[in-house]
Copies of this chain bind each other. A is one copy, B any other.
Amino acid sequence: MPTIAFLGTGLMGAPMAVHLLKAGHKVLCFNRTKAKTQAVVEAGGIACDSPSEAAREADIIITMVTDGPDVEQVLFGINGALGSAPPGTFVIDMSTISPALTRDMALRAQERGFRYLDAPVTGGQIGAQNATLSIMVGGEQSLFEEARLILETMSAKITYCGPIGSGQSVKLCNQICGAMNLLGVCEALTLGRKMGIDPNAIVEVISAGAGSSWAMQNLAPKINAGDFTPGFMIDTQQKDMRLVAQAAEETQTALPGAMLATQLWRSAQAHGCGEEGIQAMAKVLFQMAELSSTSPSEATSEPKTP
């Protein structure tokens, strides 16, 4: 069974690495903040002090870090994984980064004899924990077929999207939808409260009809419960939306909705919510509408009928 170097054991990476351990893989992991390897170590993983140390005997290197420069650092930097990994080692980058940087790094890795796929994920922390992530893969199709078995350990659905970088391109499209859906949820909950409607009724009804979304089903109940802990952090979403904006600029694509959403979440950052979950956007809209509270008990008693 292939030995895996898992680089980046944060909100998403840690539960993904645990699924690989449960499937019987040997997993050596690295995280900049070592404390975040704890869940992986408790599940039988080995925490290493550098990407280089983790990759020394790896058959597969999986990267799950925040941004492009982080991937570059753990692969190509000082004590980077590619300095120690055996030639032929498989590199699967599951982070969300720029399609252009992906193509560049894949080329550099291939020149040194490594095999490379981009395989970003969607499904949130919930998906990572339940191994129900959807994975979108870019790269040579034969490599995709080889990697499928490993990816299946962490996911419910794997889709081949095209040549290297295509997984990242599809991921950017996904981030547009995630942002727009959640902005709709936040505006609906705001207007509903202002009209004196029980916010739980809104979630119940809309989840069952043509206005439904993953965001309504999974994040709206958290908003109603006043739970803004991160499954997906606003700071990370802002990084993703910057990648969307770059891709839109490169391709001369006008994205009025996505860019408005980006600006509104930037306001959430300004409110000090950067390390909260993206559902904390609701707090910005509630404040814009002079709704003072977000807890469900207050939500049902406070608003006035128009």
Binding site for B on A (CB under 8 A): 99-100, 121-124, 127, 133-134, 136, 156-157, 159-162, 166, 169-170, 172-181, 183-185, 187-192, 194-198, 201-202, 204-206, 208-216, 218, 232, 244, 247-248, 250-258, 260-261, 264, 285, 288-290, 306
By the criterion CB–CB under 8 Å, are A176 and B181 in contact? no
By the criterion CB–CB under 8 Å, are B162 and A174 in contact? no
Q: A133 vs B169: C-alpha distance in the bound complex, in angstroms?
A: 35
Distance (whole angstroms) from the CB of A254 to the closest CB of chain B: 5
Chain A interface, DSSP helix/strand/loop, else mixed? helix
By the criterion CB–CB under 8 Å, are B187 and A180 in contact? yes
By the criterion CB–CB under 8 Å, are A232 and B210 in contact? yes
Q: A197 vs B173: C-alpha distance in the bound complex, in angstroms?
A: 10
Q: A105 vs B253: C-alpha distance in the bound complex, in angstroms?
A: 47
By the criterion CB–CB under 8 Å, are B162 and A206 in contact? no
Residue with the greatest number of chain B CB neighbours at <10 A, chosen from A185, A210, A256, A261? A210
Known contacts A161-B205, A162-B198; is-contact A177 B169 (Cβ 8 Å): no
By the criterion CB–CB under 8 Å, are B177 and A211 in contact? yes
A289's partner among B162, B173, B252 (CB-CB below 8 A) is B252
By the criterion CB–CB under 8 Å, are A191 and B134 in contact? no
Residue with the greatest number of chain B CB neighbours at <10 A, chosen from A170, A205, A250? A205
Nearest-neighbor residue (CB-CB) of A136 within chain B: B205
By the criterion CB–CB under 8 Å, are A212 and B210 in contact? no
Residue with the greatest number of chain B CB neighbours at <10 A, chosen from A198, A218, A251? A251
Counting from the closest, the 4 A-B pairs by CB-CB distance are A180-B184, A122-B209, A177-B211, A194-B251
Known contacts A197-B170, A251-B195; is-contact A184 B187 (Cβ 8 Å): no
Nearest-neighbor residue (CB-CB) of A123 within chain B: B209
Sampled A-B contacts (23; CB under 8 Å): A123-B209, A123-B210, A127-B209, A159-B204, A159-B205, A161-B205, A162-B197, A170-B205, A170-B206, A173-B188, A174-B206, A174-B211, A176-B184, A177-B184, A177-B185, A177-B206, A177-B211, A177-B216, A180-B257, A184-B257, A187-B256, A254-B288, A257-B257
Known contacts A172-B191, A176-B191, A247-B306; 12 additional CB pairs below 8 A are A157-B205, A169-B197, A170-B202, A172-B195, A173-B197, A173-B202, A174-B209, A179-B184, A190-B255, A191-B251, A194-B252, A210-B218
Nearest-neighbor residue (CB-CB) of A303 within chain B: B251
Distance (whole angstroms) from the CB of A49 to the closest CB of chain B: 33
